[in-house]
Structure 1
Amino acid sequence: MNDNPGQGVPEAIRETDGWQSVLDDMTSTAEAYRDDGWQTLELHPGDSVLVDSDRRTGLDVLLSGPEYEQLESLASSHTFSTSEVFAAESAGLYYLLIVERDPDAETAVFVPAYYELARSREALDTIVDDGALRVFCRRLNNDYVAFDHDDIAPFVPTGLLER
């Protein structure tokens, strides 16, 4: 695992209280899952952004090679069919802690993420119009593991759904 969970995250994000809160919440929530007997994987993205392109539309989270390989191994042997999402908005950023869950195998993947609201408007509009969101956990060579979500409400600010 990465000794510095903020490594690779842009300096402006890494130094915000919001991002550190997400990482702290991930640690304590993952520990609670482990205490209940679940296998957990905590990810530490280097970057996170909403994308809307021909190749991908959704939340794009960049991982280190070793973390990506751990995720890929879990994803190949588990069905992540439910999720929990914790969200907060602060200073123009929308922070997320996504818990992708395989309840039958009691396995959970923790994906901390964020996106800038002002720069994400077009992607947010597409996601709201589609009514679905994909979380792409990828590495630099563009290999990815995707998690599909039909309920977008936990991933976007409430005001966007009321338009």
Structure 2
Amino acid sequence: MGTFFRDETTSVGMSDRSPSGTPTNVQAQAGWTDVIDDMESTAASYRDSGWETLELHPGDSVLVDSDRRTGLDVLLPGPEFEALEALADDSPFESVEVFRAERGGIVYVLVAELDPETETVAFVPAYYDRASSNETIEAIRDAGEIRLFCRRLDDDAVAFVHDDPEPFLPEPP
């Protein structure tokens, strides 16, 4: 399977489906479809190698910087949150692969939280608007870590902490 932790950034395979100048939500929708497609094919590769996989489908994602949480926040449907919570109870998820791409001011990430010992991987796709997240991006860089909050509506969360935030963030200006 190779190296389980990547500290470099790898782009997800995304084609330019929407022309520039289209509204951000249209660009996000086209890019989001590409991220989900990449998640499915990457998960299939892991399954073919014998890994247990969990593919998550957030209803919303955003970079947040508040008194309660700073990091990447994704909202999961109840059953997917429960499946992740059960996996997190059994697996330490000590490694991560992050695939990142940017198009039209939207940053797309596909996070693979890995437990090589149990050969378990949870895939968390997300996106956020770069322009409206500049202050949060800088706060995360200053902190030297990023937290990935996978939560449900009642605010229960499974959080992953990563010491290197750069793979999650756009290139500095």
TM superposition score normalised by structure 1? 0.89
Question: In angstroms, what is the RMSD of aligned CA positions?
Answer: 1.4
Counterpart residue type for residue 133 of structure 1: I
| Secondary structure, aligned partner of 1:16 | helix
Which residue of 29, 46, 67 maps to 2:80? Answer: 67
Matches within 5 A, 1:1-163: 12=25, 16-159=29-172
Kindly state the Cα deviation for residue 12 of structure 1 after the two structures are TM-superposed. 2.0
Which runs of 4 or more aligned residues in structure 1 lie more than 6 Å from their structure 2 counterparts after TM superposition? Answer: none
Evaluate the alpha carbon distance shift between residue 110 and residue 13 of structure 1 in structure 2; reply closer, same or farther with a 3 A threshold: farther
Counterpart residue type for residue 122 of structure 2: V
Aligned partners of 2:44, 2:148: CA distance in 1, in Å? 23
Evaluate the alpha carbon distance shift between residue 13 and residue 23 of structure 1 in structure 2; reply closer, same or farther with a 3 A threshold: farther
Aligned partners of 2:44, 2:127: CA distance in 1, in Å? 22
Partner residue, 1:4: none
Kindly state the Cα deviation for residue 136 of structure 1 after the two structures are TM-superposed. 0.1
Evaluate the alpha carbon distance shift between residue 57 and residue 13 of structure 1 in structure 2; reply closer, same or farther with a 3 A threshold: farther
Evaluate the alpha carbon distance shift between residue 56 and residue 158 of structure 1 in structure 2; reply closer, same or farther with a 3 A threshold: same
Partner residue, 1:7: none
Matched-pair contact (CA < 8 Å) for 1:49–1:61: yes
Matched-pair contact (CA < 8 Å) for 2:100–2:168: yes
Partner residue, 1:5: none
- Identify unmatched segments of 5+ residues in structure 1: 1-10
- Identify unmatched segments of 5+ residues in structure 2: 1-23
Over the matched positions of the two proteins, sequence identity in percent amounts to: 59
Q: How many matched pairs?
A: 150
Aligned partners of 1:14, 1:93: CA distance in 2, in Å? 8
| Secondary structure, aligned partner of 2:172 | helix
